[in-house]
């Protein structure tokens, strides 16, 4: 049982399960008259409702409306408790979103559900591993776990990108000593040894020249190019160490010509669209053209499903930094991919670049994810280091939309604990943020009515001390604009489209809600307030700001701001 009232009355619980599970189905399929007649019968046959008690929260809301009608108030309180314990509002209260990578350590359905309840907002599928059907199956696993948790999450398909790697070794690995000679051979087909190895990336001999520095295995091994002879790159080991199969290659300062989108990536985009991935992350883009090509491929592949994903540019090449503005304009967001980026530009340059990228993304009304080694020690340890806590907190204070976990949740020993710790860090850091809305708006001009309304809602709610900001939105644009500014008032984005709800799961400080609303403006506003009251978000006497369009249901049509006091 889920609350004291339920323990006191098994009959109450059975009635609630019946109403929540069966009535919405009957109402939709058979009409109100039949549903009302049959409800009386199923109260006395509670077993019929057992498989329906865990419906999607949209159906739960319909069930609660019926509970109000049939139960004269008593069961509504029970229903509110049930919804609170199963829905978004009992979960971690942090504005910064958490991206978790799905892998062997987190593929258990029950564990994944717990991770979503603990604060995961976006699940990343790493297309560097697994086959197409594996990703399709995992996407289904995510949707099912989210439904059980009563919460929609976004799915991000992360493309592998070009394989700029060494080949395999006869014994799996070699130990390179400082000063030794080592050959990277694009024509070599046999396994490598202490003297040299083949290349997955065949263009390397044409991308380097004597004096260039090549960084292998995330920069742990450094080779100096001595000469290029045909398909062979002759090097000297500057910093030695263990080199094993298929380790990555970077060129200090950038300059490798590998295309961002490979043939495999193009096929993977089709796979991602088959399960309607909400976001597609593009690895190693060098310019806006790479992102425009990815968008065209995704839109074509998604046309069959009437689906257009958001595009995330992973900033991990040195060449991308000078072109960051054009990449932002061609994308829906960026990922600060600190691993490969640090190898190319140097570790010391990354913190300042991270701050710059987060600031630029917010200025351009784009989302931004901060990634790589955020809680790395929790792959093997049950608690993070203090340095990791500071790293996550600083990204939050910089204004990132999301912080990302990779191997920590994909292959680590403590995936759930990692999410829980990250949730705590995000919430604590957000509590220390200063709201500077007046400064944000000083000197600003807006060319769009809907954007002006969004900014007006923020400013008014802040100075009124409103309990909530509510945006009735079709596309999610209004909520995105609101989320670009720091404010300690939660933003509830109410939409009729589940695709918009999932996409908004990545927006900072936005809590997306799915709700069918009337096409009539005043009716829709009344429905939204009733929805908020039922969920316990607002109560009598609370003030909230709400935005919508008139007429309703037009993407980009937000043109009205209303300040309401709950009665």
Catalytic residue among 124, 467, 511, 535, which? 124
Q: CB–CB of 500/512 below 8 Å? A: yes
User: What tokens were used for 561?
Assistant: 């701001």
How far apart (Å, rounded) are the C-alpha atoms in residues 18 and 206? 69
Instruction: Using alpha carbons, list the distances in angstroms from residue 75 to 33, 82, 88, 321, 325.
Output: 22, 10, 21, 58, 54
Cross-strand partners of 545? 469, 563
Q: Where are the alpha helices (DSSP H) in 31-108?
A: 32-43, 57-71, 74-86
Q: Strand pairing partners for 493?
A: 471, 512
Strand, helix or coil for residue 12: helix
DSSP state of 231: T
Q: Which of 377, 407, 408 is nearest to 390 (CA)?
A: 377
3-state secondary structure of 175: strand
* Residue 168 CA neighbour count, 13 Å, CB half: 6
As a whole number of Å, the CA-based R_g of the chain is 26
Neighbours of 65 (CB within 10 A): 19
- Annotated active-site residue in 93, 143, 148, 165: 165
Active-site entry in 14, 117, 314, 486: 314
Clarify whether 165 is annotated catalytic. yes
372 a catalytic residue: yes
**Residues 50, 14: Cα–Cα separation, whole Å:** 9
> Of 96, 271, 372, 409, which is the active-site residue?
372
User: Could you give the residue numbers annotated as active site?
Assistant: 124, 165, 314, 372
């Amino acid at each position: 049982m889920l609350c004291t009232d339920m323990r006191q009355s098994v009959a109450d619980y059975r009635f609630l399960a019946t109403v929540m599970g069966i009535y919405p189905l009957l109402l939709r399929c058979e009409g109100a008259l039949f549903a009302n007649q049959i409800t009386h019968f199923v109260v006395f046959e509670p077993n019929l409702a057992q498989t329906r008690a865990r419906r999607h929260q949209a159906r739960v809301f319909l069930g609660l409306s019926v509970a109000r009608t049939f139960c004269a108030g008593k069961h509504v309180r029970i229903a509110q408790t049930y919804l609170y314990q199963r829905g978004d509002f009992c979960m971690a209260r942090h504005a910064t979103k958490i991206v978790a990578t799905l892998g062997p350590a987190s593929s258990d359905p029950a564990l994944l559900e717990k991770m979503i309840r603990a604060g995961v907002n976006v699940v990343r599928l790493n297309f560097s591993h697994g086959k197409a059907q594996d990703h399709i199956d995992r996407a289904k696993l995510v949707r099912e776990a989210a439904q059980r948790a009563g919460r929609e999450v976004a799915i991000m398909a992360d493309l592998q990108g070009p394989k700029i790697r060494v080949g395999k070794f006869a014994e799996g690995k070699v130990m390179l000593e400082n000063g030794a000679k080592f050959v990277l051979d694009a024509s070599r087909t046999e396994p490598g040894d202490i003297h040299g190895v083949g290349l997955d990336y065949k263009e390397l001999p044409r991308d380097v020249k004597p004096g260039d520095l090549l960084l292998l295995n995330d920069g742990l091994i450094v080779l100096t190019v001595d000469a290029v002879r045909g398909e062979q790159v002759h090097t000297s080991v500057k910093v030695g160490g263990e080199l094993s199969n298929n380790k990555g290659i970077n060129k200090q300062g950038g300059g490798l010509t590998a295309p961002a989108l490979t043939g495999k990536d193009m096929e993977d985009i089709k796979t991602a669209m088959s399960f309607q991935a909400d976001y597609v992350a593009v690895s190693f883009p060098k310019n806006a053209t790479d992102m425009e090509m990815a968008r065209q491929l995704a839109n074509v592949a998604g046309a069959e499903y009437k689906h257009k994903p958001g595009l995330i540019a992973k900033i991990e090449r040195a060449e991308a930094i000078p072109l960051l503005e054009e990449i932002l304009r061609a994308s829906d967001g960026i990922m600060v991919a600190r691993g490969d980026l640090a190898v190319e530009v140097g570790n010391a340059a990354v913190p300042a670049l991270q701050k710059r990228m987060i600031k630029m993304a917010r200025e351009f009304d784009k989302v931004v994810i901060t990634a790589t080694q955020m809680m790395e020690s929790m792959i093997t340890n049950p608690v993070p280091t203090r340095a990791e806590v500071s790293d996550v907190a600083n990204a939050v204070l910089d204004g990132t939309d999301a912080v990302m976990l990779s191997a920590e949740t994909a292959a680590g020993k403590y995936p759930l604990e990692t999410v829980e710790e990250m949730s705590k860090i995000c919430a604590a850091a957000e509590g220390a943020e200063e709201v500077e809305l007046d400064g944000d708006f000083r000197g600003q001009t807006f060319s769009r009515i809907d954007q002006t309304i969004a900014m007006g809602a923020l400013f008014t709610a802040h100075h009124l001390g409103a309990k909530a900001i509510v945006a009735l939105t079709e596309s999610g644009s209004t909520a995105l604009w609101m989320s670009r500014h720091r404010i300690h008032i939660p933003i509830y984005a109410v939409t009729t489209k589940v695709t918009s709800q999932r996409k908004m799961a990545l927006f900072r400080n936005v809590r997306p809600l799915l709700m069918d609303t009337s096409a009539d403006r005043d009716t829709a506003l009344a429905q939204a307030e009733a929805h908020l009251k039922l969920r316990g978000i607002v109560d009598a006497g609370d003030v909230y700001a709400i935005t919508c369009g008139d007429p309703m249901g037009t993407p980009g049509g937000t043109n009205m701001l209303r300040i309401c006091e709950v009665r």
